[in-house]
């Protein structure tokens, strides 16, 4: 099971719950006019280059269509950045204890960079938290959630 954090650049400079709801309802739609979209369209290749310039250890592989998946080189961490037309999805497996804090620290470094470089906001659907940067309190909340959920996942 993967933990995901969604990153978007809101057109208004602020991401709201209603915008997230609209994205969940219409995000895969191809018939919505551009003016309805609450987040900016991305050039996937340019965004991937920016991320690889930040962290040259990332390696790329093609995603669906023009999407690009950037993979962190450590297989134990299994962190991935999926760059799509409207944003970036950062994902990693649920894990516990110290390794979770390491992965979260790496993840929030990317989140902070994207916020400062391009105005990305993050949405954590597991915690239902919107953030304009790397709210370090979220690291503790996310680690606590993983510590709670991981045993349940292992027992099922």
At 8-36, the pLDDT tens digits run 999 998 889 999 999 999 988 889 999 99
Secondary-structure class of domain 2-155 per CATH: alpha beta
* The Cα angle at residue 107 between residues 19 and 144, in degrees rounded to 5: 85
Quick check: 146 pLDDT over 70? no
* Per-domain boundaries in the chain: 2-155
CA distance 140 to 145: 9
Beta strand 80-84 pairing with 87-93: antiparallel
Mean per-residue pLDDT over the chain, rounded? 86
Residue 6's pLDDT is what?
A: 94
**% of the chain with per-residue pLDDT over 70:** 83
pLDDT tens track for 60-101: 999 999 999 999 999 888 999 999 999 999 999 887 667 777
Q: Which residue has the higher pLDDT, 124 or 66?
A: 66
Q: Under a CB-based contact definition with an 8 Å cutoff, are residues 147 and 154 in contact? A: no
Residue 142's pLDDT is what?
A: 62
Residue 35's pLDDT is what?
A: 93
């Amino acid at each position: 099971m993967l933990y995901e954090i969604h990153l978007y650049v809101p057109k208004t400079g602020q991401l709201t719950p209603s915008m997230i709801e609209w994205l969940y309802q219409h995000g895969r739609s191809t018939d919505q006019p551009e003016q309805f979209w609450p987040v900016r369209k991305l050039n996937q290749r340019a965004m991937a280059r920016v991320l690889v310039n930040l962290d040259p250890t990332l390696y790329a592989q093609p995603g669906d269509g023009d999407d690009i998946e950037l993979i962190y080189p450590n297989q134990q961490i299994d962190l991935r950045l999926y760059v799509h037309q409207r944003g970036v999805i950062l994902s990693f497996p649920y894990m516990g204890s110290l390794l979770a804090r390491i992965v979260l620290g790496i993840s929030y470094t990317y989140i902070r960079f994207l916020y400062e470089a391009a105005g990305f906001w993050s949405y954590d659907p597991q915690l239902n938290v919107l953030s304009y940067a790397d709210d370090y309190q979220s690291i503790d909340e996310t680690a606590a959630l993983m510590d709670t959920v991981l045993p349940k996942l292992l027992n099922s």
